[in-house]
A and B are shown apart, each in its own frame.
Chain A
């Protein structure tokens, strides 16, 4: 019995760099790989932070303007709240034995998911390939990404 016939493929575009925004993309990609589905990830705009060496361990969670957060926006916008929330979220994730973002990237790479950075966003943020984590396969344009993701289901986060 084969797991997925015909061969399935997902292409996930990560455009936000918050801690709470990074995980859905990474977990989706990992779940796809675990289910025998090919996975491609394209990190663009703020999503680049997820694969930037200097930022990957310090992703924050933005509470202000988050309707699901039970903290009032007027308080959530105070300085230090983002790191406080991120710290709390990290603690909760550690309790659930969820890997850190860096670990997730490593697991994804090892499980055969392909990670790409967006060339335009790289230019905008004046970032070089060397500043990205080693798991990023290449820096490509959106057009290249669509070529690679031919036949894939595309998920934008």
Chain B
């Protein structure tokens, strides 16, 4: 027998089986199609109804203005996107908590009540009569106006406080810090120049943004900021370093022998009375870090101004400070 034929016998059986399966599937599909048709037939009226209802509803919505509102909202959204960059949105994200807090505070019933009342005045704007200065004064007699003014004042106070907080924060911004550093650098230049004997300030320092004046501290009377202490050596005499104003660079290097030498150069003969002033000046400097001016010396030592001018002709406080190895006293009195 042909081996191929033998092989084909089971094949026919297989094909038969497959055909059976196919016919089952066809039957299933036919059934499903029939069910679908039934479903469609059943659904059509319902769907028609739904569509009709939806159309009426949508029409009603359109009439109510929802879509116009939506379109406008979309337009607003577009504008927001155009006007704000990603950085702004990032900042907004940071600020979202405070925004929500603000909204919560503003939507409290009592705040809303005040706002409603206030808008009433604006709505009645056509009935409002213009008033002048006298009318304004007269209006302040009204209790409600008084109360309103108090509220406005308080509001202004809060706004002002917030504004100064913001400007304070701004002043700490990088640009400001840069400027302050610049001012520091130019300030250093200024003191170096003074030490070299250049008394007059140059245009460079005038151009630099002046550092904000420190609040005046209570204490010894001064009517001018004390000049910054120059620590640059201008001259060295007998191994002692002097600054340009004639004071010692290191006040602790002072000795009585040195005082005698300085006094001789100043044309002052040092006697008990002068020593009293010099000793006081040194003690006062050690205590307060500033050379005493004439008024301070007279008040502390009991000497009269006249006596001081007799002891140290010309400029008593300055001469005494120089002999005591101290910087020039500040102040005008």
Contacts and interface: CB of A to CB of B under 8 A. Distances in A.
Contacts of A95: 218
Given A3-B314, A99-B295, A111-B294, A31 B306 contact: no
A133 B318 CA distance: 29
Contacts of A1: 246, 265-266, 322
Main secondary structure of the interface of A (DSSP, over half): loop
Given A3-B314, A3-B315, A31-B332, A110 B305 contact: yes
A27 B333 contact: yes
Contacts of B333: 27, 30, 97-99, 107
B221 A96 contact: yes
Interface in B278-333: 293-295, 304-306, 309, 314-319, 322, 332-333
Given A1-B246, A27-B333, A98-B221, A36 B318 contact: yes
A114 to B, nearest CB: 13
How many chain A residues sit at the interface, stated as a range, is 20 to 34
Contacts of A112: 309
B253 interface: no
Contact of A34 (B220, B294, B306): B294
B189 to A, nearest CB: 24
B315 A35 contact: yes
Given A1-B246, A95-B218, A34 B305 contact: no
A98 B294 CA distance: 12
Interface residues of B, number: 23
Given A34-B318, A34-B332, A111 B246 contact: no
Given A96-B221, A110-B304, A110-B305, A36 B332 contact: no
A96 B266 CA distance: 32
B318 A107 contact: no
A36 B315 contact: yes
Interface in A1-54: 1, 3-4, 27, 30-31, 33-36
A102 B220 CA distance: 21
Nearest to B307: A110
Contacts of B304: 110
A145 to B, nearest CB: 23
A34 B221 contact: no
B223 interface: yes
A137 to B, nearest CB: 15
Nearest to A108: B305
Contact of B309 (A3, A4, A31, A110): A110
21 contacts: A3-B314, A3-B318, A27-B333, A30-B333, A33-B309, A34-B293, A34-B294, A34-B315, A34-B317, A36-B318, A95-B218, A98-B223, A98-B333, A106-B305, A107-B295, A107-B305, A110-B304, A110-B305, A110-B306, A110-B309, A111-B305
For the complex of A and B, 9 pairs with smallest distance between CB atoms: A36-B314, A110-B305, A110-B306, A36-B315, A97-B221, A31-B332, A27-B332, A107-B305, A96-B221
Given A3-B319, A30-B332, A97-B333, 18 more contacts: A3-B314, A3-B315, A30-B333, A31-B332, A34-B293, A34-B317, A35-B318, A36-B318, A96-B221, A97-B220, A97-B295, A106-B305, A107-B294, A107-B295, A110-B304, A110-B305, A110-B306, A111-B309
